[in-house]
Chains A and B, each alone.
Chain A
Amino acid sequence: TQLLEQSPQFLSIQEGENLTVYCNSSSVFSSLQWYRQEPGEGPVLLVTVVTGGEVKKLKRLTFQFGDARKDSSLHITAAQPGDTGLYLCAGDASNFGNEKLTFGTGTRLTIIP
């Protein structure tokens, strides 16, 4: 079973601060996805990274896939209350015979106005 550990599990910061969330595994993934989940809703895809070392930007959010494709990070610049939510990474090992996503343990982010 592939495991994806996210850190920190909980993070509460002031509006305007920067933060980084990590997603780590000992397994290699062919791609990695990041989802955000708001209360009472299902997760919604933010981004998919597919190439080792890839960096993708989505407004104030920067996503990076590790060179070895075992880890990823999400950096938020100048956090806003609308960024509050549960952030989940999910690894796809379908190129290695596992045709389903493995989800991380989640980071619950709270931005204080």
Chain B
Amino acid sequence: DADVTQTPRNRITKTGKRIMLECSQTKGHDRMYWYRQDPGLGLRLIYYSFDVKDINKGEISDGYSVSRQAQAKFSLSLESAIPNQTALYFCATSELANTGELFFGEGSRLTVL
């Protein structure tokens, strides 16, 4: 089983719908992240959390919200999905901030029609 698990792996939805992407990890890491990947843009940080009581905005947080339900769970919500949120979304964890390795899930491909 994967150490970082994302659900769903694929989702097609319509404009205006609310979508939640879930992430759970068994690595015991405190730090969790949500990234968005678009062709030619690399990975861009949406939100990150350094522990259960900590939530921070990344560079592209508009239109997204997150919830850190437990050390092992970090969910990403799109309250009202729009087509330009069509992308591949990755959850990641790390143990340390400085030179800390990121461990990624397998990704959630979201298509907003």
Count of A-B contacts with CB under 8 A?
A: 63
Task: Quote the shortest CB–CB distance from B3 to chain A (angstroms).
Answer: 11
> What is the interface size of chain B, counting residues whose CB is below 8 A from a CB of the partner?
24
Q: At the interface with chain A, which of B14-22, B35-43, B63-71, B73-81?
A: B35-43
Q: How far is the CA of A103 from the CA of B44 in the complex (A)?
A: 7
- Contact between B92 and A106 (Cβ–Cβ < 8 Å)? no
Interface residues of B in 1-22 (CB under 8 A from A): 4
Q: Using Cβ atoms and an 8 Å threshold, which residues of chain A touch B58?
A: 100
Q: How far is the CA of A87 from the CA of B44 in the complex (A)?
A: 15
Size bin of chain A's contact surface = 20 to 34
Q: At the interface with chain B, which of A14-22, A37-45, A71-79?
A: A37-45
Q: How far is the CA of A44 from the CA of B3 in the complex (A)?
A: 13
* Contact A42-B98, Cβ < 8 Å, known A4-B42, A100-B58: no
- Contact between A95 and B42 (Cβ–Cβ < 8 Å)? no
- Contact between B43 and A103 (Cβ–Cβ < 8 Å)? yes
Q: Report the 4 A-B pairs with minimum CB-CB distance, sorted nearest first.
A: A42-B104, A103-B43, A103-B42, A31-B99
Chain A residues close to B by CB (< 8 Å): 1, 4, 6, 9, 30-31, 33, 35, 40-45, 48, 50, 88, 90, 92, 94-95, 99-101, 103-106
